[in-house]
Amino acid sequence: MNYRFVLSPDADADISSIVRWYLNIDPNLAQRFLRENDTILRRITRMPYAFPLWAGASRRAMLKRFPYFIYYYVEMNIVTVTAILHQRRSDGPRVTAAQFVM
């Protein structure tokens, strides 16, 4: 079963910020980041429970070639991506009350 995924406005802003960062370094890096991000998002929609729980009902998936985590939660048949953050960033993702309702 494939789950539908929704990007929160914060996650969408995270992606835009990351892409802008890599575009300033090398446009090829930005394209590679987008491809890997899409690959992981497709994997999450196929097997959302394959990734470890992080906080409450929130899960996180790690990109392989870039130092970022994708934070998401699953509700019914929808995967909601809440944040895409650098692995060394000290603050956690933005948490909503919906993540803790089972």
Q: Is 78 helix (H, G, I), strand (E, B) or coil?
A: strand
Query: Hey, what domains does the chain have and what are their CATH numbers?
Result: 4-100 (3.30.2310.20)
**Residue 35 phi, psi dihedral angles, 5° rounding:** -65, -45
pLDDT tens digits along 37-83 = 999 999 999 999 999 999 888 999 999 999 999 999 999 999 999 99
Residue 82: per-residue pLDDT: 95
Q: How crowded is the C-beta side of 68, counted as CA atoms within 13 Å? A: 22
Range 32-38 average pLDDT: 98
Please provide the size of the chain in residues: 102
- Does residue 27 surpass a pLDDT of 50? yes
Asked if residues 10 and 83 have their Cβ atoms less than 8 Å apart, the reply is yes
Asked if residues 80 and 102 have their Cβ atoms less than 8 Å apart, the reply is no
Residue 100: per-residue pLDDT: 37
Percent of the chain with pLDDT over 70: 86
